[in-house]
Amino acid sequence: MQKAAKTKIRLSDHFGYRRLIRFTLPSIAMMIFTSIYSVVDGFFVSNFAGKTPFAAINLIMPVIMILGTVGFMFGTGGTALVSKTYGEGEKDKANQYFSLFVYTAFLVGLALGILGIVFLRPLSALLGAQGELQENCIVYARIILSALPFYVLQVMFQSFFVAAEKPKLGLTVTVLSGLTNMVLDAVLVIGLPQEWKLAGAALATAAAQVVGGSIPLIYFFRKNTSLLRLGKTNYNGRILTKACINGSSEFMSNISMSLVGILYNLQLMKFAGEDGVAAYGVMMYVSMIFAAAFIGYTIGTAPVIGFHDGAQNYGELKSLLRKSLFLTGMMGLGMVASAEVLAGPLSSIFVGYDQLLFQMTVSGFRIFALSFLFMGFGIFASGFFTALNDGITSAIISFLRTLVFQSLAIIALPQILGIQGIWLSVLAAEIMSVLLGAGFLRLKQKKYHY
């Protein structure tokens, strides 16, 4: 027990490279595993339900993700506030804020889930879905949205587990949730008749989200060994607003990515039809895994940055920034190399049954994968300012990176380069976001003493 106490990493520690990697690794693994079990849905649906149900998931998924973004907003924005409050020595107030964010997020998720179910048909029609494709969209999304409050909690707790100094427990919950999805996918998608396979995949995901949201809820309600515990709280509109503004970058980032995903699908329907949407779906599934590593690292470092900012440990803050930029660059290099080598095998897993679709996917993915070299810098720069409770700067970086730059690229480049321009759009947007992030880091250096 004594040895374990000595080796436990705390927010107040000095972080060298080794300790930084050890502390963030559970968050990185948590986000990667979350992405992998989302990818499992695509694998089973594509291979056992067919190309049209697979395209339906990819078409309606941006709508589902938009509705679930409040979890990211309360998670990142709330974590920064709670961590800074702890750094200032006000533990009781930090727990009151934590409780307020959890209760509010659940209620908002419930309301959005109901609204999403009510307006699914017109929303799917706006995305260009008709006939069988539209019916598949509705079947899948209705089931997923029924579990939306738990998905919101699951996403939010991924940040709060780190702030509670329990990142490994967060990883354990994510693994349990992921295994639930994978096992049920195998049982329901393979075992059910053809007309029920898509619904089976949706049920598997919804069940996993209930597991991922309810286990942390139970843990934090009970007496525990973490820094955080759910209890009584009072409504505080000012703190809720501050958390929402602070987490607005992640909120906007996820909404923007979903809106851009819709724009991609519209362009692909124009240039390549249903096959283009399916090919883009494969790239999105795989890129989710790579992007998840950057997001996990940012989530893992955010409470540490927030704590040292609150404690005015500016030397440590500068060290964290320098080390994080280096590690992000190394991760990006490794991801590009891996993606180029694995483009064929990964595409084959999803669409190997259709040779033309397979060739289109491999060709596009090799271009698309170059964006991983730059992606991490934009994600971390936005998250860094969120952790400093500078939600406005973070939101500007995120908004321009995920919506403005990508929208401009996806509209302009295909007019010049055709479908190749679609695959190049993400790369162009990420390069611009690196320049933007570097500019803000330089501009705000004196204000935050890093």
The domain in which residue 178 lies consists of 14-448
Q: How far apart are CA 37 and CA 42, in angstroms?
A: 9
Q: At residue 308, does pLDDT exceed 80?
A: yes
The pLDDT of residue 38 is: 65
pLDDT one-digit tens code per residue, 4-17: 444 677 777 788 89
Q: Which of 56-70, 166-180, 382-396 has the lowest mean pLDDT?
A: 56-70
248 Cβ contact partners less than 8 Å away, ≥ 6 residues apart: 73, 77, 391, 394, 395
pLDDT beyond 50 at 1: no
| One-character DSSP codes across 153-186 | HHHHHHHHHHHTT-HHHHHHHHHHHHHHHHHHHH
Answer for the pair 351, 279: CB distance below 8 angstroms, yes or no: yes
pLDDT at 2 over 60: no
pLDDT at site 77 = 84
User: Is 230 within the bounds of a domain?
Assistant: yes
**Which of the pair, 8 or 1, is modelled with greater confidence?**
8
Rg of the chain taking only CA atoms, in angstroms: 21
Banded pLDDT at 273 (limits 50, 70, 90): low
What gap in Å lies between CA 32 and CA 51, rounded to an integer? 25
Q: Tens digits of per-residue pLDDT, 352-378?
A: 677 777 887 888 888 888 999 999 998
The pLDDT, as a whole number, for residue 274 is 65
CB-based contacts of 218, cutoff 8 Å, min separation 6: none
Token reading at 449: 């003493």
| Top-confidence residue, 15 or 436 | 436
Domain assignment of residue 7, yes or no: no
In the chain, % of residues over pLDDT 70: 94
Contact 114, 137 (CB under 8 A): no
Work out the average pLDDT over 338-347: 82
Q: Tokens 């195998």 belong to which residue? A: 186
CA-based angle 63:64:67, to the nearest 5?
Answer: 90
Q: How would residue 189 be classed by pLDDT, with cut points 50, 70 and 90?
A: confident
Model confidence at 383, in pLDDT bands (50, 70, 90)? confident
Q: How far, in Å, CA of 284 to CA of 58, rounded?
A: 9
DSSP letters spanning 270-315: HHTHHHHHHHHHHHHHHHHHHHHHHHHHHHHHHHHHHHHHHTT-HH
Alpha carbon distances (Å) from 129 to 41, 124, 132, 246: 20, 6, 8, 35
Q: Please check the confidence at residue 311 and state whether its pLDDT lies above 70.
A: yes
> Contact 153/216 with Cβ under 8 angstroms?
yes
What percentage of the chain exceeds 90 in pLDDT? 25
Q: What are phi and psi of 70, to 5 degrees?
A: -60, -25
**Structural domain includes residue 9:** no
Residue 2 falls within a domain, yes or no? no
Q: Any idea which of 54-58, 182-186, 307-311, 434-438 has the lowest mean pLDDT? A: 54-58
Q: How far is CA 179 from the centre of its chain?
A: 19
The owner of tokens 């109901």 is 114
177: closest CA among 196, 146, 153, 141? Answer: 153
| 366 within some domain | yes
Under the banding of pLDDT at 50, 70 and 90, the label for residue 323 is: very high
- In total, how many domains does the chain have? 1
Q: Is the pLDDT of residue 315 over 80?
A: yes
Q: Average pLDDT, whole number, for the chain?
A: 84
**Residue pLDDT, tens place only, 91-134:** 888 899 999 999 999 999 999 999 989 988 888 887 777 778 88
Does residue 5 lie within any of the structural domains? Answer: no
Query: What pLDDT shows up at residue 4?
Result: 43
Q: Which of 257, 289, 285 is nearest to 410 (CA)?
A: 257
CB 27 within 8 A of CB 299: yes
What is the pTM for the complete model shown? Answer: 0.69
In a domain, 391, yes or no: yes
297, two tokens: 């690292």
Q: Is residue 153 one of the residues assigned to a domain?
A: yes
Give me the helices (H) in 69-166, please.
70-87, 91-118, 120-126, 131-146, 148-163
Extract the tokens encoding 348.
């084959």
pLDDT of residue 69: 82
Minimum mean pLDDT among 14-18, 190-194, 217-221, 263-267: which range?
263-267
